[in-house]
Amino acid sequence: MDMMSRVQRALDQQLALAHSPSAPPRLIAALRHAVFPGGARIRPQLCLAVAQACGEDAPELTDAAAVAIELLHCASLVHDDMPCFDDADTRRGQPTVHKLHGEPLALLCGDGLIVMAFQALARAGAHHPQRLAGLIATVCTGTGAPDGIVAGQAWECEPRASLSRYQRAKTGALFVASTCAGAQAAGADPSAWRALGECLGEAYQVADDIRDVMLGSDELGKPAGQDAQHHRPSAAADLGLVGAVDYFRGLMQQAVDAIPDCPSRTAMRHLVWQESERLMPQSTCDRIHREYPQHRPAAVVAPRGALA
């Protein structure tokens, strides 16, 4: 089974556990809408790939780690889309959860997905007790305070913040959790896989910043121009489009170089280049160089958060 199918199947099985005659049907529908059909599932696939590279020996625990990370990602999207943050009407080409089910259920849906992530880990971890505490700690570090995605989002509410700290927490932290949890699910040392997660997380954020400037809402499947509208820091604003594209390519090279020695190192490198091409095709990079050579860094003046 390819990795995408494996991720979808594991998510589907986890969601099914919330179905019960005793469950409020609209909450269950909101949970499903937040998770399916889903996006590229890059984080859980990364988790699976690292576990396989580490000689995966507990596939149900890998699945749980991948599921937990994707559910936490989906939870953050549901809450980020809400009116008090992005107030976005669409996500992945569909209405956002609060647009379809209302704000109260969107709020609860995010909470429910966070809890479900740990439910998945506990269920599979019961058979691998020696790996469970480390896995949960890794996932929590990527998600909560002081340095996880919740903290990253919270930097938008501060009067001043460091751009790199903001991006590391908002996007990087869950990529680091993805690679490290993949290793831990296979009983391997996570520290060797940290740098790969860091590089990919930053590259992903830079690609997102570029797309937010370049593409229209239809192509994005969500509102475009959000970074400028919400005065959020952005690599495209900071470095200009050409600078951001070059920075992105450099980060992907660093990601490739960060893959530790392992039997499937060549396959992992191929996967990273493939992901690079998916995120920001070479043809798009060339087009940006050709068509936007004058795109200059913009001064970001943020009323909600001045990020230095």
Binding site for a copy of itself (CB under 8 A): 18-20, 22-28, 31, 75-76, 79, 82, 84-85, 101-105, 107-108, 110-112, 114-116, 118-119, 121-123, 125-126, 129-130, 132-134, 136-137, 139-140, 143-148, 150-151, 153-158, 161, 165, 169
Burial of 278 (0-12, 13-18, 19+ CB in 10 A): exposed
From the CB of 28, what's the least distance to a copy of itself, in Å? 7
Cα 183 to Cα 28, 153, 178, 228, 256, distances in angstroms: 31, 26, 9, 37, 17
From the CB of 20, what's the least distance to a copy of itself, in Å? 4
152 contact partners, CB below 8 Å, separation of at least 6: 166, 167, 168, 169, 170, 171, 173
HSE of 201, CA atoms in CB hemisphere, 13 A: 29
Q: What is the largest CA-CA distance in the chain?
A: 60
Cβ atoms within 10 Å, residue 13: 12
Residue closer to a copy of itself (CB basis): 129 or 216: 129
267 contact partners, CB below 8 Å, separation of at least 6: 53
Which of these, 262, 253, 14, 254, lies nearest to 115 by C-alpha position? 14
Residue closer to a copy of itself (CB basis): 117 or 256: 117
From the CB of 63, what's the least distance to a copy of itself, in Å? 16
Residue closer to a copy of itself (CB basis): 27 or 163: 27
Residue closer to a copy of itself (CB basis): 230 or 295: 230
From the CB of 116, what's the least distance to a copy of itself, in Å? 6
From the CB of 208, what's the least distance to a copy of itself, in Å? 20
Distance from C-alpha of 206 to C-alpha of 250, rounded to nearest angstrom: 11
Residue closer to a copy of itself (CB basis): 152 or 223: 152
From the CB of 142, what's the least distance to a copy of itself, in Å? 9
Residue closer to a copy of itself (CB basis): 157 or 308: 157
Distance from C-alpha of 112 to C-alpha of 75, rounded to nearest angstrom: 8
